[in-house]
Structure 1
Amino acid sequence: MTIKEKQQEIVEEFAFLEDWEQKYEYIIDLGKELKGLSDEKKIEANLIKGCQSKVWIDAEFNDGKLSFKADSDGILPKGIVSLLVSIYSGHSTQEILDSDFEFISQIGLQEFLSPSRANGLMAMTKQIKFYAVAFQLKK
């Protein structure tokens, strides 16, 4: 499945949810399914700056694909980062760099979040792109 197809699937799933309470619950459920990170990976280098809660994203590059693992000490940010990890893991650095984050506005996530949480979301997306650039340069 391409990144765009995964994003479209998320947009369609959110379209079935009637109100923000249901969307909020859906995001929280995603966070509950996230495996999280070991304590060794919860280091300053993996900590996302600009998030209200602590959010860590770690990336590994194997066989031409990036895979992400993440965790958060907050239930909502954990769900949001879980959503991003599910979309961007398993793709090449170029696919990630060529992708956009339009689906976020399509599902209305930024309008739903407080300004500080919206800033955290943008910091998470920037970190995913940063990892793609960093690993592309290492190739």
Structure 2
Amino acid sequence: MAAEAFEDIVADFEFLDDWEDRYRYVIDRGRSMEALDDALKVPATKVDGCASQVWLHPKIEDGRFSFEGDSDAMIVRGLIAVLKALYNDMPVVEVTKVDAPAELARLGLNDHLSAQRSNGLRAMIERIRSVAAEAA
């Protein structure tokens, strides 16, 4: 069910030997992402429940879901990039069907994120699912 872009991340993770390399990989994915326009960093796009500042700006065009995002923490920017690979360009009606915890477990993220980061990741997923459910 996961998008090809996410499957590429899974394959890259299998290639990397240890978590430090995987951690750097996630951060690099975040670094390569374009920054969210400051005009979109408003209370309506801010995700509550994250230890760092996080903004998600969803878009639905032609029945397909995508989002842009940003954070003031590099690892969280990387997690946003991973979620973009999982969800972007998916039919909006399919977004809520994705078992994000199971997909992300394939990367072993649950074992290597702090409790605060895990809570923030769950909050981002819930925001994505909520927007998609409203639009569907």
TM-score w.r.t. length of structure 1: 0.91
Distance 1:48 1:110 in 2: 20
Report 1:49-88 matches (<5 A): 49-88=48-87
Match of 2:119?
A: 119
Match of 1:43?
A: 42
**Which residue identity does 1:113 align to in structure 2?**
L
Q: Which whole-Å deviations, capped at 9, do the CAs of 1:64-88 have from their partners, x for residues lacking one?
A: 1112000001100000011101221
Distance 1:115 1:28 in 2: 18
Distance 1:29 1:9 in 2: 15
Stretches of structure 1 lacking an aligned partner (at least 5 in a row)? none
**Which residue identity does 2:123 align to in structure 1?**
A
Say which SS state the counterpart of residue 9 (structure 1) adopts: helix
**Which residue identity does 1:131 align to in structure 2?**
V
State whether residues 59 and 67 of structure 1, in contact with CA within 8 Å, keep that contact through their aligned partners in structure 2.
yes
Stretches of structure 2 lacking an aligned partner (at least 5 in a row)? none
Cα shift at 1:115? 0.5
Q: Structure 1 stretch 6-15 or stretch 127-136: which is displaced more? A: 6-15
Cα shift at 1:92? 1.3
Aligned-residue CA RMSD (Å): 1.3
**Which residue identity does 2:15 align to in structure 1?**
F
Say which SS state the counterpart of residue 40 (structure 1) adopts: helix
Cα shift at 1:111? 1.0
* Identical-residue share of aligned pairs (%): 35
**Which residue identity does 2:90 align to in structure 1?**
H
May I ask how many residue pairs the two structures share in their alignment?
Answer: 135
Match of 1:133?
A: 133
Q: Which has the higher helix share?
A: 1
TM-score w.r.t. length of structure 2: 0.93
Match of 2:105?
A: 105
Say which SS state the counterpart of residue 98 (structure 1) adopts: coil
Distance 2:46 2:20 in 1: 28
Cα shift at 1:4? 4.6
Match of 1:93?
A: 92
Say which SS state the counterpart of residue 60 (structure 2) adopts: strand
Cα shift at 1:6? 3.8
Distance 1:8 1:69 in 2: 20
Cα shift at 1:47? 0.8
Distance 1:49 1:82 in 2: 18
